[in-house]
Structure 1
Amino acid sequence: MTANPKANDPRSEASKSRDLISRGDYTPTPAGKAVFFVGRALDPFLQYSILAYGTGTSLLHRVGLRTLPPGPPPNTGVALIDGLGLSPYRLILLGMAIGSAMKQNIWVTVLSGEPLTPANAAIISAFNTVNNGLNTYAFLLAATSASEESNFPQVPLIVGSALYVTGILLELVSEIQRKQFKSDPKNKGKVYTGGLWKLARHINYGGYTIWRAGYALASGGWIWGAIAGAFFFSDFATRGVPILDEYCSKRYGTQWQQFKKQTKWRLLPGVY
């Protein structure tokens, strides 16, 4: 008989239904993790297809929208890079797609021990691919692209790249720190409150919000970046943080309450 991956999750059924990841159970789910890994690994190829060949832009042209010309590729002397045929701006955006896929596949293979069903894995993977695709098309559309200025690199690209790198490192490093703590048998049943988690109780979610906003900003400019940042911030503030707070409160009890007193920020220090 297959174990129920949500059997040891102490949250209410309402909270469980709003979370695609089971909590408190470490039943191996290799099929689900494989689905996630493959889905995320394929995403950079899709983004490259859009950036290099304009995949899907014919539909945009049919409704009267104009897309940017390809732009001259760089001559770096590195065959792998030059062979892609992408302008420097497009190379950076492709790099963001690759970086997000690598980070999330490190998470699913090394850092996360919680069950992930194939269906939920497909949903989460597709969600990230759709968001990356929206960024790519926002860049390609002349009306929304952050590359309309003549000089390179443009300010949105600089700021967006800085946010992207900061956020993805914040998310990755915080999760590595927690994994190392949890891997020590002496810490079984304990809340991790050290490292970057001193800044906020869900600092990994904060990091995700930052790099998502940066990716969008670099692609579609200030308005698109603000929209993306607000969307993910709102989702975590109204869904992700509350349902995880319920789980932690029920699992860790007074430990969690003490952590909340010591670390007042939920998502981002000085913000929320």
Structure 2
Amino acid sequence: MSDKARANDPRSEASKKKDLIPRGDYTSTPIGKTVFVVLRSLDPVLQYSILAHGTGTALLHRVGLQTLPAGLPVHTGIAPIDNLGLSPYRLILLSMAVGSAVKQDIWATMLSGEPMDVKNALIVSLFNTVCNSVNHFAFLASATSASENSAFPQLPLMLGGAMYAIGIVTELMSEVQRKQFKDDPKNKGKPFTGGLWSLARHINYGAYTVWRAGYALSSGGWILGGIVGTIFFTDFMNRGVPILNEYCEKRYGEDWEQFKKQTKWKLIPGIY
């Protein structure tokens, strides 16, 4: 981080070490972001291999777990979709993997001004790929699958799908709104407090938690959805929000204090 960037990030060293994003630093890192985009774009290919061909399920069989049959492939009349040979349920799960990759690639290339070195690109990409893979292995394992081989669509998929759609759209739109605000020179040095951010001070973190929980619920049912939602909620509550709040307090001063008074929710409106 440059000296100028360090001056723009007044947080304690302890907080900086807990944050993968160097706040106040806008150094261009095309190699790191290219690595991130490539790896995130390859993730749907891996997830398709898991869902369509059972890649990796041999490990499940070795520990005595049975896996679901493939199910009848969907027929939409759209050749690129039908040629995937996936059942409707599996096609929706693959769509979630594609959606998460597209959203994060948009964020990296168009919305985030902070640098991303190769190390962090690898860490964040691998983390998201592991999350998606765990979801799909949980779906394929009969003991943990959200699918009960009953009438389609099933409740976990309907509720989880709604959570996923609401969460990922909210996360993307909140970041677009903030980018538009920050791009206006007259807003330099001001926090964005309008749009979706008027509902919660860290609405993007809350939205990420919601869609991650919805994705897990759709794949592995109520238990996995609850576990994943709790993990992300707890991490943001105890790590993400405090370290970003420290940055905003020290950078924006009274403007941030006023924002906290007018917007009481931190992550998810009505909950926290």
The two structures have a TM-score, normalised by structure 2, of 0.98
Could you tell me which residue of structure 1 aligns to residue 52 of structure 2? 52
Measured against aligned partners, the alpha-carbon deviations of 1:157-209 in whole angstroms (never above 9, x if no partner) come to 00000000000011001110000000000000011110001100000111100
Residue correspondence of structure 1 range 102-117 to structure 2 within 5 A: 102-117=102-117
1:239 maps to 239
Q: For the residues of structure 2 that align with 1:32 and 1:3, how far apart are their CA atoms?
A: 17
Instruction: Tell me the secondary structure at the aligned position of residue 271 of structure 2.
Output: coil
Asked whether the equivalents of residues 5 and 26 of structure 2 are also in contact (C-alpha less than 8 Å), the reply is no
Q: Could you tell me how far 1:136 is from its partner in structure 2?
A: 0.5
Aligned to 1:144: 144
Name the CA distance, whole Å, in 2 between partners of 1:20 and 1:44: 24
Shift in Å, 1:101: 0.3
- 1:215-260 Cα offsets, whole Å, 9 max, x none, are 0000001111111111100010000000000010111011111101
Secondary structure of the 1:181 match is helix
Amino acid corresponding to residue 16 of structure 1 in structure 2 = K
Aligned to 2:252: 252
1:4 Cα offset (Å): 6.6
Report the alpha carbon displacement of residue 6 of structure 1 after superposing the two structures with TM: 5.4
Indicate if the aligned counterparts of 2:36 and 2:121 stay in contact, CA closer than 8 A: yes
Report the Cα distance in structure 1 between the residues aligned to 2:138 and 2:3, rounded to whole angstroms: 41
- Helix, strand or coil: the match of 2:142? coil
CA contact (8 A) 2:201 2:263 kept: yes
Which residue identity is paired with 2:148?
E
Residue 187 (str. 1) matches residue 187 (str. 2): yes
Q: Which residue number in structure 2 is paired with residue 67 of structure 1?
A: 67
Structure 2 partner of 1:15: 15
The normalised TM-score by structure 1 is 0.98
| Aligned residue in 1 for 2:205 | 205
Letter in 2 for 1:18: K
Q: Deviations over 1:37-87 (max 9, x none)?
A: 111101100000000110000011011111101111011111101100100
| Deviation, structure 1 residue 9 | 1.9
- In structure 2, the CA distance between the partners of 1:119 and 1:5, relative to structure 1 (3 Å rule), is farther
Deviation, structure 1 residue 3: 4.0
State the superposition RMSD in angstroms: 1.1
* Cα distance in 2 between the residues matched to 1:132 and 1:196: 27
Deviates more, 1:6-15 or 1:193-202: 6-15
- Cα distance in 1 between the residues matched to 2:33 and 2:75: 38
Q: Distance in 2 between matches of 1:246 and 1:176?
A: 23
Q: How does 1:105-184 map to 2 (within 5 A)?
A: 105-184=105-184
Q: Match for residue 227 of structure 2?
A: 227
2:43 aligned partner: 43
Measured in 1, the distance between the counterparts of 2:193 and 2:46 equals: 39
Inter-partner Cα distance in structure 1 for 2:240 and 2:99: 23
Contact in 2 for aligned 1:202/1:241 (Cα 8 Å): yes
Residues paired across the two proteins, number:
271
Instruction: List gaps (5 residues or longer) in structure 1.
Output: none
Consecutive unaligned residues of structure 2, counting only runs of 5 or more, are none
1:149 Cα deviation after fit:
4.1
1:268 and 1:214 mapped to 2: Cα distance?
A: 14
Which amino acid counterpart does residue 168 of structure 2 have in structure 1? I
CA-to-partner distance for each residue in 1:77-114, whole Å, 9 max, x for gaps? 11101100100000000000000000000000000000
Q: Report the equivalent of 1:77.
A: 77
Q: What residue in structure 1 maps to residue 215 of structure 2? A: 215
1:12, 1:94 → 2: CA distance? 41
Which one-letter code corresponds to 1:182 in the other structure?
A: K
- Cα offset, 1:5, TM superposition: 8.8
